[in-house]
Amino acid sequence: MALGAARGRRLPRPGGAALSRGLIALYLSLLVLLPVAAVVAKGAERGPRALWEAIAQHEALTALALTVAVSVVVVAVNVVFGTLIAWVLVRDSFPGRRLVDGVIDLPFALPTIVAGLTLLALYGPQGPVGINVAFTRGAVLLALLFVTLPFVVRSVQPVLRELDRSMEEAAASLGAGPWTVFRRIIAPNLTPAIVSGAALSFARALGEFGSVVLITGNLPNRTEVASVYVFGQIQSDNVVGAAAVSTSLLAIALVVLLVLGLLDGRRRRA
């Protein structure tokens, strides 16, 4: 292995794998584990009451509530449009389909700050189409929809491509109409992929920062999302408050990941 067994040795050194494992653990600890633990420790250092009080601050709570609420809407929109786009890309054919397929990943490749600037250029005060959503909650929704667009599409697409068409033909031959075929045959087969894409969009929406900072104006109690609130608290040296809200974001993300892991485990066993 790259880090473990030194090159050119004839015998597998029993220490090789252990050394590589040790380096992996060290890297992960210094980079991920220790810092994340520090956030939770900071948030909880004055006890659960202080943690709760920091979260229950009006501005913090409003930011958290807005973040979760918009993320839920984002998931709902993504489930519908993501599945629809995946369906059109797999089952439909039209000139330029490959190009559209390639463009789906653009939000993943585009830096978030550029995404925000981009949306502001079109849907901001100087936008050429006369629609101005800047500094409204609609702007939060728009930014989050932009950055989460690929998740559901990309998780549904391969499943839809692999889906056995003869199942649908069998259902049709048994007298099922198109809507019944979709509801009884296609949808149940896509559900795990949709759920996994939805969970990833939710986690992403929950923590998104770069794309919202320019277009939402970060108005406290109106358009300020949780990550922007955390950023503000860091800037004004309220590290405990920042850590408290961060901890609650971590907790929500953890729950989402756990649920996803459980669903995935069940699917793999099935």
Partner 1 sequence: MRRLGLRTVALGYLLVLLLAPVGVIFWRTFEHGVGPVWSAITAPDAMHAFWLSLTLVAVAVPLNTLFGIAAAIAIVRHRFPGRWLLSGLIDVPFAISPVVIGLALVLVYGHGGWLGDWLAGHGIRIIFSTPGMVLATAFVSLPFVARETVPVLRELGTDPEQAAATLGASPAQTFWRITLPAIRWAVIYGVVLTTARALGEFGAVSVVSGKVAGQTETLPLFVQDQFENYNTAGAYAAALVLATLAILTLVAMNLLARLRRGRSATDATPTRATSTRAVTA
Partner 2 sequence: MAIEVHDVHKRFGDFAALSDICLRVEPGSLGAVLGPSGSGKSTLLRVIAGLEQPDSGRVLIGGRDVTREPPQRRGVGFVFQHYAAFKHMTVRDNVAFALRIRRRAKPEVLARVDELLALVRLEGLADRYPGQLSGGQRQRMALARALAAEPQVLLLDEPFGALDARVRAELREWLRRLHDEVHVTTLFVTHDQQEAMEISEQVVVMNEGGVEQVGTPRELYEHPRTEFVMSFVGEVNRVGERFVRPHEVQLLPQSDAGSREGFIDRVLHLGFEVRVGLTLDDGDQVWSQTTRERADELELEVGQIVPVRLGGGRVFA
Residues that bind partner 2 (CB under 8 A): 10-12
- Local structure of residue 17 (DSSP, 8 states): H
Question: Which partner in partner 1, partner 2, none is near 75 (CB below 5 to 8 A by kind)?
Answer: none
Question: CA torsion angle for 121, 122, 128, 130 (degrees, to 10)?
Answer: -120
Minimum Å gap between C-beta 38 and partner 2 is 39
Question: CA torsion angle for 146, 152, 153, 158 (degrees, to 10)?
Answer: 160
Question: Does 17 participate in binding partner 1 (rule CB under 8 A)?
Answer: yes
Burial of 79 (0-12, 13-18, 19+ CB in 10 A): middle
Considering only residues 185-204, where is the footprint of partner 1 by CB under 8 A? 196-197, 200, 203-204
Minimum Å gap between C-beta 251 and partner 1 is 11
Minimum Å gap between C-beta 54 and partner 1 is 13
Question: Does 266 participate in binding partner 1 (rule CB under 8 A)?
Answer: no
Q: Which is nearer to partner 2, 12 or 177 (CB)?
A: 12
Q: Which stretch binds partner 1 (CB under 8 A): 4-12, 54-62, 168-176, 184-192?
A: 4-12
Minimum Å gap between C-beta 12 and partner 2 is 6
Asked if 190 and 83 touch (Cβ cutoff 8 Å), the reply is: yes
Minimum Å gap between C-beta 199 and partner 1 is 10
Q: Which is nearer to partner 2, 10 or 165 (CB)?
A: 10
Considering only residues 140-179, where is the footprint of partner 1 by CB under 8 A? 142, 145-147, 149-151, 154-155, 158, 161, 178
Q: Per-residue b/e over 141-170, b at no fewer than 16 CB within 10 Å?
A: bbbbbbbbbbbbbbbbbebbeebeeeebee
Considering only residues 213-252, where is the footprint of partner 1 by CB under 8 A? 213-214, 226-228, 230-231, 234, 239, 242-243, 246, 249-250
**3-state SS of 142-184?**
HHHHHHHHHHHHHHHHHHHHHCCHHHHHHHHHCCCCHHHHHHH
**Structure-token pair, residue 158:** 């391969």
Among 50, 79, 253, 263, binds partner 1 (CB under 8 A): 253
Among 35, 76, 167, 251, binds partner 1 (CB under 8 A): 35
Among 108, 170, 177, 183, binds partner 1 (CB under 8 A): 108
Burial of 174 (0-12, 13-18, 19+ CB in 10 A): exposed
